[in-house]
Structure 1
């Protein structure tokens, strides 16, 4: 069987690139029987999987992503004799000679339409239901994403398997104190701190720094409000990691007095994130609408206790491995922060159970579920075609 995978989303500067890399790497690790055709729109990551003998990587150029999706990809699939086309993100060729499958993320365009271009919102609301109907199989990243998509799209979305994203293999506890100390010195971090890994930009906002708009969905202002409420009761500082987070807080009206014991650092490279989680004594994640929080998984995998939002998909991801609070109530978060900050036994217990919960997420399992879904789809498609040919033969 030959599987074509649309790799266009690899070009995004977001956590989704880590998802695609983790998924493809592990699919290739467990599957040496099938061949893979990886289709790129730019040269940036061309050759990333060239070490695998059953992989062919191809650069497809097109003037627009729509042309790439709907013309270049299906043409190459025909040329290469592909059995199925899979896009880990949310579009598929509408005309193809083989079945197509795609991933599903949370339907942000319905919830936060103001953070996308108007045309993009119109396009997605028009086309996403069409793509879902066309797709023979769907891979939502969480049950929450699946149910939200069913609600907003008004479709049953029956042929679906939940395939969670997972923390990278480097997301794990670090036992070497000197490594953590060196990292703290590099970023001028305090000895004891609570952490908020967040963002105030959004993939739907082009030229983010130029237009000056902010995305409040990750809710970092609730972290700051909660910390202001409890900072005199705990020995910790607050570290907020992300681009332009301080600018966002100033935009909301916070002052230098509010920033006492607060440290803002730029976006930490993905490779260094385990050091950040290991250096912190807890992570605060009050996002309003995370469908499948990668940062929640990463923090748990590093043994950093988490206080997360009780809305969105956080409860599904965190399970018993985190504490939860109301993202609309900073005082609720402040109370939980006090409890964890002032109780060494509670922090140790949370560290133990969050590591247990993180172990439930496995790239090998996600890769196998994805591969099984693709194989099942091809077999069903080929079986239906065989029956159709038999009927046509009898009729003649």
Structure 2
């Protein structure tokens, strides 16, 4: 987003916001090559665009910006997972350890997606709190919403016929799926339930999780679904007994919001940003303690009153988030920064 402010008189000015999409071959979907090409484009091509459009401020929704130029910019940081869990993120750790600090040092301001990420920025990079503004994210309310009746159908099974707990996300170690599987295996009457794990598989981690389920004699009940098309996820969420998200660390945790918006009880971790997202509308557990995860799953599975309470409180909590609020808060920060730049000149 390129921002220009022009004075239309002595007493007022006009601010122009120009969205400049990056070329498709630079997107994360292109893999490592896409990331590398984007970094080069950011350093060499973006400054030319910045100058050509007479830009006062660049807003980058990721922590990438031109270095060694006179470009003024605000960036957004989503998480520092690569620094918190470096053993599984070698390229990401290098990127966050050496490139991001330079970007942040030269930024006019930093936006992040939670107070937890703001604390990480201060802890890892010693950035003053005054330079950081947390702005909470949201979810797609047009796709994730509550229905009074269970959907059933080909996208998910009827809750009464096939009761299942659901996790959606990657299988990376910090997502804590090995403890989730351990907790599920200890569930009373475990044979009456299933655990559905939806999300792209990873040859480094998924086979280990499959082997764990086999060793615990629950391989027939733990379903590794792989990638699930986006349009199928809401039905899958609505039909679950509970959405279980025991991640050890998240920059924000949009899946928690999506599940609450669908009216599905949520069990999630009491660490990082997840309590900020869930508030008092979910069961918060210590993700390092499988027994707590088991107890929460058992309580939700057997207590209809608890499920109803979590459903209603989750719907109320999800309604507090919207992309309009996120966008408005972002524009206010950017306008303030542009005005400050103008006052300095």
Give 1:99's aligned residue: 72
Q: Determine the structure 2 residue equivalent to 1:112.
A: 85
Name the stretch that deviates more: 234-243 or 264-273: 234-243
Alignment-derived partner of residue 16 in structure 2: 34
Q: 1:343 aligns with which of 299, 303, 321?
A: 303
Residues 285 and 296 in structure 1, CA contact (< 8 A), matched pair in contact too: yes
Q: Which residue of 2 aligns with 1:156?
A: 128
Distance, in Å, in 1 between the alignment partners of 2:161 and 2:80 is 38
* Match 1:264 to one of 201, 218, 224: 224
Kept in 2: contact 1:165–1:363 (CA 8 A): yes
Shift, 1:153, TM fit: 1.0
Asked if residue 198 in structure 1 is aligned to residue 166 in structure 2, the reply is: no
**What's the offset of the Cα at 1:123?**
4.4
SS in 2 for 1:196: strand
Aligned to 2:259: 299
Deviations 1:265-321 (A, max 9, x none): 122122221111111120111111112111111111111111111122211111101
Paired positions, count:
326
Counterparts of 1:240-279 in structure 2, within 5 Å, are: 240-244=197-201, 247-252=207-212, 254-255=214-215, 257-279=217-239
CA offsets per residue over residues 132-172 of structure 1, 9 Å max, x none? Answer: 12111211110000001110112214222212221112111
Gaps of 5+ in 2: 5-13, 28-33
Distance 1:337 1:69 in 2: 46
Q: Is the 8 A contact 2:246 2:268 kept in 1?
A: yes
Is the Cα–Cα contact under 8 Å of residues 62 and 72 in structure 1 kept in the other structure?
A: no
Q: Provide the residue aligned with 1:236 in structure 2.
A: 193
Mapped to 2, the partners of 1:128 and 1:313 lie a distance apart of: 21
Deviation at 1:251, TM superposition (A): 4.6
The residue number in structure 2 matching 1:287 is 247
Which ranges in structure 1 are unaligned for 5 or more consecutive residues? 5-31, 46-60, 201-214, 386-396
CA RMSD of aligned residues (A): 2.8
Question: What SS does the corresponding residue of 1:284 show, helix, strand or coil?
Answer: strand
CA deviations 1:18-42 (Å, max 9, x no partner) are: xxxxxxxxxxxxxx97331313132
Given that residues 144 and 291 in structure 1 are in contact (C-alpha distance below 8 angstroms), is that contact kept between their aligned partners in structure 2?
A: yes
Q: Which residue is 1:204 aligned to?
A: none
Contact 1:242–1:266 under 8 Å retained in 2:
yes
Deviation of the 1:365 alpha carbon: 0.7
* Cα drift, residue 222 of structure 1: 1.5
TM-score, with structure 1 as normaliser? 0.75
Tell me if structure 2 keeps the 8 A contact 1:282–1:306: yes
Q: Secondary structure at the match of 1:39?
A: coil
TM-score by length of structure 2 reads: 0.86
**1:221 is aligned to 2:178:** yes
Is 1:140 the equivalent of 2:112?
A: yes
Mapped to 1, the partners of 2:112 and 2:318 lie a distance apart of 19
